[in-house]
Every structure is written in structure tokens, then in C-alpha cells.
Structure 1
């Protein structure tokens, strides 16, 4: 079995996490020919994946575990919290797992920030991806945290290959 890598991304809303993950996933899939899996944490339960009134919504609303399959996709709706290992088992195969959120997971973590930093994230970050809009001298920034260019996807991928778990 080949080695699977996993890395997590954290940061405040609208910091650019999703955009960075999308760029990385596309590059890994198209340029590196990697199988990529993504897990997104929705801590405020805001994400909406189904439309009220449709059959899949009605099935899911019963509390059942539901899989909706079509010629182009399969979607899994669960009414139960899954830990990381359970979520990983849902994916048959992947080379790289990208996790958005879940800052308490024991994974190498890239924090994404623009304009200002929240020091509360320092204990959870292994790398900081930023766009140069932060005055780093204003912070007592940890010395062992790598600083990555948010706009240089290739450099972020290199860090992932070296540091992902």
C-alpha cells in the first residue's frame, strides 16, 4: 500500500483557506496525477448540501445514513459525528488528504491569514500561509513555524510533501 499524506488548513473565515485548498487540489490532481480527498469541517453547521422537499433531503431528514448515487457522483449524508479515522475509511483510496478546519486534529497544519494574525492559532500551526499583508514584526511569532506565500501554490505543495503526516 502506498503512503498516504494528510495535512490540515485552519484560519478565520474569509482568510483564503478554501481558495488555497482548491488551487492545491487542482494542481495535485492535474499536474502531479495524485488522488486527492478533502474533508471540510463545518463548525457552525452552515453548509447546505441538499434542498428541502427533494427525496434525498427527506431521506436524510429521517435520521438515516444516506448515500445518493448518480452516473457522475456519490454523496454520503450522515447524521452522526465521525472521527478522522472513520472519515478516512469512507474514502477508498487517496494519495493526499486535505482537511479544512478541525484544528485539534493531530495533523501538520497550515494556518491561512491575511491582514492580521490571531495568536490563539500559534499553538496549532506548523506553517503560516499569507500574502504579505501582515506586519510580522508586530507579533511574537513562533520561530519554528514556516512562512509560506499564499499565492505560490507550488511552494505550499512542496511544504506539504515534506511535512504532511
Structure 2
């Protein structure tokens, strides 16, 4: 499995870009999975549902299964968060694992940057894992980095760049 990441501050448009890229990767014949890091408490289960109640009662894991999908919820219960490598290893075999977040993991990644968000560029000389920057203001960002700068509003060009970078074309 090849791994490619997306980094950027909240509000930059990482998820929106991924929504536009994933169908292009699938159309290219790739099996794609995604790992998204959440920096805050989250719950995919709803209070009052049986699975929620049983997990809250103390189950370490709850596996929900239907004819369309399955989901495994694992409670850490004060255990440390699994390492990045442990998380990637949980995926079924696929061609490409996309990673949203994990800014400092040593995997190739694209920075999604909007100057209007008011945050600094992550693609500095010290962060060699960022291989390109996608932005809505290329004329501003090109002056700040030596990385390739891609137009954020052109997901086809971004997809092509990633496919080439990962060796799929």
C-alpha cells in the first residue's frame, strides 16, 4: 500500500479537496482507503443506540455489521493512541491510503493552504515531507516555497500530480 498525506490548518479545505480527488483515484482503477486524525473527542455512535449503550457499559470493542458495511469501535480507556504504523496496518489491502492530518508524519504529503485562513505555510525547508502545495492564491504561495504550487480549484491537476508522484502513471 502506498501512503499519501494531506496537511493544512482547519478551514483550508482538506476534506473538500479529498472529496474531489477520491473519485478520480477510483476512476483510475485504484482501491483507496482513508485515515483521518481527529484532534478532539469524537464519537461515531449515537447515544441511546444499542451499540452505544453496550460500549458505555464497558465493552472494549463493538463491531457493527450490516449488509452494506461494518464498523469496529475500539475504546482506548486510558491506553495510548495507536501509532501511525499500527493504524495503517489495520486497513485491508488497497492501493493507496490517503491520510488527512498527521502533519509531522514522515510520509509524502500535499499541503492545502489558504492565505486567507491566516495561518503560516507548513511547507518550510525543515518539513521535507511536503512535496507540493495546493492553494487558492498560487501567486502568493509560489514566493514562499520551493515546492511545486498547484491550483486548489483544479482537482484534476492535483490528482494527476499525486498519481505521478506515487508512481501510478
Structure 1 position 130, deviation (Å):
0.7
CA separation in 2, counterparts of 1:23 and 1:119? 23
Seen in structure 2, the aligned counterparts of structure 1 residues 153 and 73 have a Cα distance that, compared at 3 Å, is same
Matched, 1:19 2:26: no
Structure 1 position 18, deviation (Å):
0.2
| CA deviation map 1:43-100 (0-9, x unaligned) | 122x331111212212333251222111111112122322222222222111111100
Runs of 4+ in structure 1 over 3 Å off = none
CA separation in 1, counterparts of 2:121 and 2:30? 34
Partner of 1:103: 103
Partner of 1:68: 64
CA separation in 1, counterparts of 2:113 and 2:139? 8
Structure 1 position 147, deviation (Å):
0.8
Structure 1 position 161, deviation (Å):
2.2
Name which of 150, 153, 164 aligns with 2:152: 150
How large is the RMSD of aligned CA atoms in angstroms? 2.2
Partner of 1:43: 39
| CA deviation map 1:101-124 (0-9, x unaligned) | 011211111111113451355343
Seen in structure 2, the aligned counterparts of structure 1 residues 148 and 120 have a Cα distance that, compared at 3 Å, is closer
Aligned residues: 157
CA separation in 2, counterparts of 1:73 and 1:133? 40
Seen in structure 2, the aligned counterparts of structure 1 residues 109 and 55 have a Cα distance that, compared at 3 Å, is same
Unaligned runs of 5+ in 2: none
CA separation in 2, counterparts of 1:92 and 1:115? 37
Seen in structure 2, the aligned counterparts of structure 1 residues 134 and 13 have a Cα distance that, compared at 3 Å, is farther
**TM-score between both structures, scaled by the size of structure 1:** 0.83
Partner of 2:161: 159
Seen in structure 2, the aligned counterparts of structure 1 residues 78 and 164 have a Cα distance that, compared at 3 Å, is farther
